[in-house]
């Protein structure tokens, strides 16, 4: 999760979005022309665009739940607080394709699909829907603080970004669990150990390396199983937090910030990248 200060990020976006840069450029152009002998209208134009730039930047920095540089109307409803519905839907489709492939592979191997797997298959969809409700501050949603401060909107967006990363991690782990399991890896290890004990001469050293590699593979699988539990716990924590922000009847800005701090601490205490899990999964496939 990004560590940039939400206030700093909002000021940066307000100063450098396309609309405000355009106003500044036009105002600066008129000011440059007004510096030479020119009609008074150029001074007025420079002052007008300079004032428009200042008001626009100020509004972007202070308007709650509004993405700096956004346009009014439908654009704000889909991008409020940094929410990009089109991008979120694309991510959901990509993850759904991965989970469908995992489901087909599991059924092809005769594996039982647990109720928890089926329920979690749509967890990211629920999380993104909660993000949308928070970002758009639906008036018919009981418990929503109106208006939510901009820094909370930014934090919510970052929590959902982390939930997407965790969902991808979980999919990679499930793919590994479909392809192999601890029993199979243990049987393979026992078989190699038996060959190692019966072998003499130079070949014994080669088998010893193979035993070590298989032991590491088995240990990696066990760590992956623990990582899956941790990953799902973090996803549950993010979903619970967003649900509280959306529906709690006794919510205050202060209590939301306290919950955000606790959730960030919990997530930062156990971070793992998709690349790390992918390395473990690749090792299990060897």
Which sign, positive or negative, has the C-alpha torsion 199, 202, 203, 207?
positive
Separation CA 158–CA 3 (nearest Å):
10
* Residue 44: half-sphere exposure toward Cβ, Cα within 13 Å: 3
For the chain, give every domain's residue range.
6-62, 77-285
Query: pLDDT tens digits, residue range 152-163?
Result: 888 999 999 999
Separation CA 272–CA 199 (nearest Å):
40
Query: pLDDT tens digits, residue range 47-68?
Result: 655 666 556 656 655 554 444 4
Confidence of residue 32 (pLDDT cuts 50, 70, 90): low
In the prediction, which pLDDT does 167 show? Answer: 93
Query: pLDDT tens digits, residue range 176-230?
Result: 888 877 788 888 888 988 888 888 888 888 888 888 888 888 888 888 888 888 8
Is the CB of residue 53 less than 8 Å from the CB of residue 24?
Answer: yes
The torsion region of residue 217 among left (phi > 0), alpha (psi -120 to 50) and beta comes to alpha
Q: What is the pTM of this model?
A: 0.62
Separation CA 72–CA 68 (nearest Å):
11
H-helix segments, 180-252:
182-198, 202-247
Q: What is the DSSP letter of 149?
A: P
Q: Does residue 119 carry a pLDDT above 60?
A: yes
In the prediction, which pLDDT does 90 show? Answer: 93
């Amino acid at each position: 999760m990004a560590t940039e200060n939400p206030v700093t990020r909002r000021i940066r976006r307000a100063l450098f979005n396309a609309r405000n840069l355009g106003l500044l450029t036009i105002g600066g152009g008129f000011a440059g022309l007004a510096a030479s002998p020119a009609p008074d209208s150029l001074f007025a134009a420079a002052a007008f665009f300079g004032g428009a730039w200042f008001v626009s930047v100020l509004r972007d920095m202070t308007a709650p739940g509004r993405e700096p540089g956004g346009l009014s109307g439908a654009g704000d409803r889909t991008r409020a607080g940094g929410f990009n519905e089109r991008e979120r839907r694309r991510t959901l489709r990509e993850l759904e394709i991965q989970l469908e492939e995992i489901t087909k592979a599991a059924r092809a191997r005769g594996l039982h699909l647990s109720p928890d797997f089926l329920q979690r298959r749509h967890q990211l969809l629920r999380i993104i829907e909660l993000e949308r409700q928070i970002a758009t501050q639906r008036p018919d949603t009981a418990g929503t603080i109106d208006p939510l401060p901009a820094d909370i909107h930014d934090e919510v967006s970052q929590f959902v970004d982390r939930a997407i990363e965790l969902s991808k991690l979980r999919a990679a782990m499930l793919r590994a669990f479909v392809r192999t399991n601890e029993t199979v890896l243990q049987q393979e290890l026992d078989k190699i150990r038996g060959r190692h004990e019966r072998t003499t001469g130079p070949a014994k050293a080669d088998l010893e390396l193979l035993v070590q590699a298989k032991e590491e593979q088995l240990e990696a699988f066990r760590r992956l199983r623990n990582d899956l539990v941790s990953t799902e716990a973090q996803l549950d924590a993010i979903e619970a937090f967003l649900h509280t922000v959306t529906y709690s009847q006794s919510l205050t800005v202060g209590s939301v910030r306290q919950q955000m701090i606790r959730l960030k601490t919990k997530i930062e205490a156990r971070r793992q990248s998709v690349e790390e899990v992918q390395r473990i999964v690749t090792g299990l496939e060897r």
